[in-house]
Each structure stands twice: as structure tokens, then as C-alpha cells.
Structure 1
């Protein structure tokens, strides 16, 4: 019975996978089963096929006896070790086959055992051992067939015709060619699998970078608004309760919007294959940015109309303007900012100006916000120029192409 669920237990796992003693613990800490099913199938084929070969070659070769069958079983049993000890298997199967042929037993599936040992060594990258085992067997066969046959069974045996060696050489060449081709294809598959894994890691890194940028932009802007309004509310709590109430209302609205956008970003982690529940922001929401900046005490003037942009470019443009206005709120002594939108010549230009002066040591643009803006623009093939103006203000100038590079546009487009 299954004690946990109170129902009859199913068949033991070894019923489908073999008993536990077929398994062993490898160096990497993983369980690797012995290839006993395939080895058992090979053993049956070799023993049955050798019986047919013995009947077909009766009178020409020695009949199968217990020693012959023992040699065949030893060669097949060695195949159980082909994944762990390919060199031992290659030379062991070649030696067993050489003793089998030297004893005068019939030609047949015994060569199949050697071929599997050769394949295993070659697939494991032990080419020297694989070739050495084949050459050892071939050299032993030449000695037996053309010199040692006088003293070996069966009695009265004669030298093998040299034409037979050509047939054997052709079979060896075919086995070697197939094995080498298999090795090359396997190495190619390994390289392709490694390249796919590297590409998957690269896509994951790009996705993590995108999510980090989204969270930074959303939280930096919203928390800046909340910080300013919290200061206003504390300052006016006693002298002007109505204005303090307005500040708290703004804090509630900004925090609610921030939570919604953070939830939207995190949804892409929970259900990466599903469409997001809400569309990603774009320049069509520029008026919301202006309203939020106004609630933080910043007057924003917009020049130009937002153009229709591709999804990835639209999101990047919105985040760049959002981050630039956030920096004005946090680092500029000016309470006025200007946003100018221009498009033409296959690009959209965003210019955000404030009249300064800077209020912090990092107002020159060494923070993560400007770095994130540059990464967004670079991902789309665009540029960002940010720095102080000669008159004491600060300017952010972004140029984004209307058609992004295919690979990067796909990464940005998944944010929608």
C-alpha cells in the first residue's frame, strides 16, 4: 500500500527501469544506467546468428562448443562497459574475436561485437584506441589465416585466399567510414546544442536587463513624485490641511500607478508565453507624465505632437522622457522643463531641457538612469546625448530610428 495516499502501490520502479544494482553513481553525481537492454539484444542476435553461421560453414570451420559460446558471451558482456571504459571494451572485444577466430570457429556476428566496441571508443573521442583495436584484430586475422592456420584448428585447414582479405578490408573501411561520420555528426550536434544554450542564456540576460530597466524607470519616477509630495504634505500638514490632503491624494495615485506597472512587468516573469494584461506605455501617455510632473511641482511644456512609432521604439521613447523628467525633479533647481518632439528622416528626436542649476553632485549624468536611457537607445540603434548646457541648464537629446534592428526590436517588443 501507498502509506501516504492510502492506495495500492504501483509496480516497483525497477519493473520498468531495471533493478537498482544495474545503476551506478558517476563522477558528476548523476545516475547512469548500464546499457543492459541493448547489450541483451546484441547477445541474442550474436548467439542466434552464430548458430546459423555454424550450420552454413559446417565442415569448413570448427563447430560451436561451450568454449566458443563463452567467448561470444564474454565479448557481449564487455559491451556493458562501453560507456564507462570504451578503451577496455575496444581492445577486449577485439581480443575475444581474435581468440574466437584463431580457434577456428565460424565467421559471423562476432564481428558485430568488435564493430560496437569500435563505435563506442570512437564516439567517446578515443580514436587511437579504436583504430588500434581494429588493426590488432586485422593483424591477428592475417596471421591466423596465412601462417598460424597450420597449427590451429580445424585440422587440415588451408590458407585463406587473398581475395577474402579484400572483402574484409572493404567491410572494415565501411565500418570506419560510418563510425567517423557518426563521430563528426555527433560533434556537430554538440556544437549546435552548445550554441543554442548560449543563445538562450543571451536572451535571458537581455530579458533580465529589460525588466531591470523597466523596474528602475517605473520606481524612480513614481518614488520621486511620492517623495516630493510627502515633503509638501509634511510641511503643510498644520498650516494648510487642504493642500496636505491634495499631496496625499497625489501620493496615493502615484503609488497605485506604480504598483500597476510593476505588476505588469512581473507578469512577464510569471507567464512569459502569454500576452500581457495591459498595453505597455508609449508617447500617447505623455500627458500623464506631464500631469505627474506637475503634481511634483514641475511645469512641463511639450512642443510637437507624438508621432506614431513601432511598439519597441514607442516604449523606449516614453521611458526616456520619463527618466529625463525624473532627473529634473530630483537633481535640478529649476521647476520648469521643456519636451520637444521631432520626427523625420527615418528617426524621432526627443529633446528634454531644464534651466538648472543642479542641486546634487550627480547631476551631470553619472547615475543609473542615464545609463539605462543609453542602453535603451543603443538597443534600437539610436543615440543619447546628455550634459549641461552653456547657460547652466541640462539637456537630454535622444535620436531613435523608426525601424529598429530585427533582433533588438523583438526583445523590446516582448515588453508590450
Structure 2
């Protein structure tokens, strides 16, 4: 005769099967059933507790109290929690649903809670905006992405480059760190970028004339293609004049230096030619100041250049100005304290500036490293020069110049190498 323990073991081993068999009989008689599946050839009744016990899908469905769309989104939300790139794509879709009011309040609350967990372990700029943006939506506040960025005035964006051709980074000059955001549609190096009215435009690059745009007010949507330039331009330079993007020179598909200049009107999404430069050039600098454009340095296909010329948009004419002291190919150019700075190039670490009143060039303090193919911008009253090649440390460092000290200092080491990228101050 079996012992009591043996009897219990036999009973337990058969318990699940007997319970499910009994439940299935009740289901067929529609006893205690509380859910019905409508099929093409009829209906099937079931018990919610059995389905929920068997499937996480049904557990969420029956306990959430939301729509079927909420259910699907919750499952995906759980799936992408630990996958950053999948998370980016998912949140982009969420934002679209939020704007057409297809998400329930309970799901938005759940997303906010999940975002708070993400933000604790992530330096991602995208995650910061996700948390802030959705939190404000939950409170029914009308906001924009730019409005959610507390440090917008102290950031700059680095786009593309030789080593990370479609990656985009935001550098926080206060926190001194990079955050990766939405990648560009196309891989680009030797391209050029500007910012016009909270939109960043990225043009040209290695064997292309394509242009794409990122709306900073809604950049969770990602980059969008806009009208292409008339010519292919590699290593061109760009600047903003009268809320239009001007692009000068560059290298064409036949690897020839260009004289041509074209400008983009974002209102009508159209590129138009304007007056030719006096000197063909690529890997040069272009800046906008007081209603005029100034281009200097670069390479004409034979030798590095030290020449400089200015463009008057009213007369549509380029005028020759006094050349730089040094020939500079692959240099950076910025306007800082009403003077034009020519930075590096040709593996140089030297810097000189152009006085607008006297139209003369003079040398200033040299950088710590030689830099060619770097990019530069002015943020928070300082010049930032990012990456480039020349010395071993050039590609992975940032240098900063402050007129108060009149010296360059190393800002930080970068996690990624940057060369022939482009930068815009935000």
C-alpha cells in the first residue's frame, strides 16, 4: 500500500492536467468564461485567468485596462528597455501616436516611469529629452524640444566625420561630455552644416550633393531629406546669410576644386547659384559677419592657399582681401569678438585673426596640438576646436580658447575619433 507521501506526490503530478481538463470542459460549455475570440468561422470562448497564466501578452491585456494598441506598445516597451537603438525607434513612434492622441493616460504614465529608469543609467541626450518631453505632455503642457533643453545655449552638435560617418553627438560644455542622438540618414564625411531658425542642415560630403535637415523643435522625428544641391560638393564650406545657407567651393565628382557658390532658401526648399569666387578652393573656411561672407584658405588642387575674399550679397560680387600670414588647408574659421579667426590647417597648431577695421592679419596664441580637418564653433564666449589630425592626440581632444586668458587649454578627451566632421553651435 502506498504511503501518504506517495499519494500526495501522485496527486500533485496529475493536478495540473486534471484542472486544465476540467477547465476546458467548462470552457466548451461556456461556464465561467469571460472572454470571446471572434474568428472568421465562428467564436471561441475562454477564461481570462487561464490565458493570463499562460501568456504574458494576455496578462498585460487583461490587467492594463487599455486599448489593444496600448497592449502592443507595452509589450514592445518591455522588449526595448535594454536596447538603446530599438528604444530610439520605438519612442519616435510613440511621439507620433501622442500627437494624434492615440495613447491612454495610463500608458503615458508607464512610459514616463520607464524613462526615469532609463535616465538613471544613460548619458544619452535622446533619453534626457524623452523624459522631459513626455513628462510635460502628461501634464498637458504645450512644449517644444528646444524648450525642454535647459542648457541649449551651452551645447554644440558634431555631425559625421571620417570615423563616425552618420553619427551625431551633442556636447554639453557645462557637463563636459558627449551624448549621441539621432543619426543622419546618410553616411557623410567632408560635409558641411549650419543652423537656421532651430533647424540644422547637413549638405554634401563624400561623393554626394544630398542635403538633410533636423528640426530641433521635434528632433525625435529624426533627419529628413530636403532638396539636393545643384552640384556635388566634398570638403565645401558653409555659412548662414539672411536666413539662407550658402555653400562655397568644394571638390566635385571628378575631384576638381570648384569656384561655384550656391545658396539654399529653406522657405521654398530650393538651391540657386550666385556669383563665382575668384579662387577655386576646397578644405577652406567660410564665415558670415555683418551681412557679408568671408572665405579664406583651402586648397586649389595644386597648392595650399592663404588668400581671402569677401562676398557682398547686394552687389553679388567677391572682393579680394589681404591674405593670411600662412597657407592653410583643412583649417577652421570662426567669428569671435568681431574678428575672424583662422585656426590650424596643414597640420599646423598656429592661429591668426583678421581685424575687420584695419583689414590686417595678426598671430594669436597657438593651440597645443596640430589640427587639420578639425571643426570649430563659438559657444558661451569661447572658441571650441574639435578633433582633426596632426598630432597623435588631435583626433580625440577638444581645445578651448578664451580671450580673457588669451590661451588655449585642453577641454576633454573624446570617446570617439573626430576628423572632417562638421559642427554647429546650438
Pairwise same-fold verdict (TM > 0.5): no
> Normalization by structure 2: what TM-score?
0.29
Q: Which has the higher helix share?
A: 1
Which has the greater radius of gyration? 1
> Normalization by structure 1: what TM-score?
0.29
Q: Which has the higher strand share?
A: 2
